[in-house]
Amino acid sequence: MNTNAIEIRGLKKSYGPGFQLGPLDLDVPRGAIYGLIGPNGAGKTTALDLVLGLGKNDAGEIRVFGLDHGREGVAIKRRTGYVGPELNFSAWNRVGRALRFVRGFYPDWDDAYCAELMKAFQLSPGDRIATLSFGAKTKLSLLLALAHRPELLILDEPTTGLDAVSKQQIFGELLKVVESGERTVLISSHGLSDLERFADHVALIKNGRLMLQGRMDEVVERFRLADFFLPNGRGLPNGAALTVLKHEGDRWQAVLDMQAGATERLRGLEAQQLALAPLTLEDLFVALVREKEGV
């Protein structure tokens, strides 16, 4: 049995000259909660869409549960649940109608679990979709995605616009879903502090390229925020191991990739008063994504 729920090799997708995703290589292990992060327009939604089979890739290969979208797209979707910010159910007017509609597509729809989720999310079949709050609509979307107990859950910014309580509730439900270890969650989110607590793997995409990926603890552990002085007005170019955040006179602040020999490089430059501090995922994201101030 394949240990990865999703395997992506050499994936490429372009939309005109303005945007190109990839080449992208990514492995999402079964049972993992995999966070996909990146700035707006990085290609996260495009990547998630391609994983779900919305649109064709220009090059490369995506296998979900070892299946290929070209031949077994419907089978993949039957084992997958999707929540995204652009979904709209208003054509079905009432929650009950939307449920009845979606239920018809999934032979393994779990009515008892659906009822349980409805109670937890405080939704009822008679609720009018147009009058639901933003948070309730997201919960409905999640309910529709979860009620057939999918093996893979793809969540595209599911908590955008939600208050703290709703976020907690949604993440709580997601944790219940994955606690058996058999279900996989691929989630893109701008709520990095939530993601840091929730996800066990993370990948960062910028301008369509994968900048880093790995286990969450390893990724966070790998980088350090460094504060140091460089004597004699010496310059410090950005490199693979070091990203300069700012400098004032001789004082510098940078993010160091500890696995790439950043400290050795600083020692070679005779850096003084070197102080290292751990980074949160959010700090790391800001440091790696923002325009670099290399000198």
Partner 1 sequence: MNRIVWDHVRRWWWVWLAVNGYVIYGVLVVATGKDRTDWTRTFMPLALFLGGAQLSADLGRGDIPRLLRTLPVTAREVGRAWWWASVGLPALVSGVVTAVTLGVAVLVSRVPVSVPGGVCYWLTNALWFGPWFLVAVFSPRGADKGWKNGRQRMGVARCLFTVVFMLGMMVILMFFYRLVPPYSVRWDIFLVVAAGMSVASWFRAEAFAAETLGAVKTNTETARATAESLEVLDQFVDRHVRPLTGGQHLARSAEGYGGLRLLFESIYLPMISLGAFMVMLMGVMLCWGVRRSGYDADFMGVFFSFMCLLVWLPFIVVLPRILSQMRWLRTLPISSTQLAGVVICAPVAATLTLLGLDELIMVLIRSGAGYVPLAPLYWGCLVELTLPMVLVPLVVWRGADAVVLVTVVGLMLVLCVANWPTQTVTLSPGENAGVALLVVLGSFALTKGLLERGSRVYRGQTP
Residue 88 or 180: the one with the smaller Cβ distance to partner 1 is: 88
Cross-strand partners of 277: 225
Q: Minimal distance in Å, beta carbon 247 to partner 1? A: 40
| Binding piece for partner 1, criterion CB under 8 A, among 100-108, 163-171, 194-202, 270-278 | 100-108
- Residue 12 lies near partner 1 (rule: CB under 8 A): no
Stretch 29-68: interaction string toward partner 1, x if CB under 8 A:
----------------xx--xx-x-xxx------------
Residue 1 contacts partner 1 per CB under 8 A: no
128 lies in the site for partner 1, by CB under 8 A: yes
Written as six digits, the tokens of 253 are 């602040």
Alpha carbons within 13 angstroms on the beta-carbon side of residue 145 total 26
Q: Does 191 bind partner 1 (CB under 8 A)?
A: no
Cβ at position 6, least distance to partner 1 in Å: 16
Three-state secondary-structure class, residue 54: coil
Look at the block and give the residue holding tokens 């869409």.
49
Q: Which helix (H) or strand (E) holds 43?
A: none
Bridge partners (DSSP) listed for residue 247: 252
In this chain, which stretch among 77-85, 162-170, 189-197, 200-208 interacts with partner 1, using CB under 8 A?
A: 77-85
Bridge partners of 202? 35, 214
CB neighbour burial string for 27-38, b if at least 16 within 10 angstroms, e if fewer: bbebbbbbbbbb
Q: Does the footprint of partner 1 cover residue 84 (CB under 8 A)?
A: yes
Residue among 6, 129, 241, 266 that touches partner 1 (CB under 8 A): 129
- Indicate the residue among 59 and 74 with the shorter CB distance to partner 1: 74
Terminal alpha carbon distance of the chain? 50
Angle at 256 (CA atoms; ends 27, 278), nearest 5 degrees:
85
Which residue has 């077994």 as its token pair? Answer: 72
The contact set with partner 1 (CB under 8 A) reads 13, 15, 45-46, 49-50, 52, 54-56, 73-75, 77-78, 82, 84, 86-93, 97, 100-107, 109, 128-131
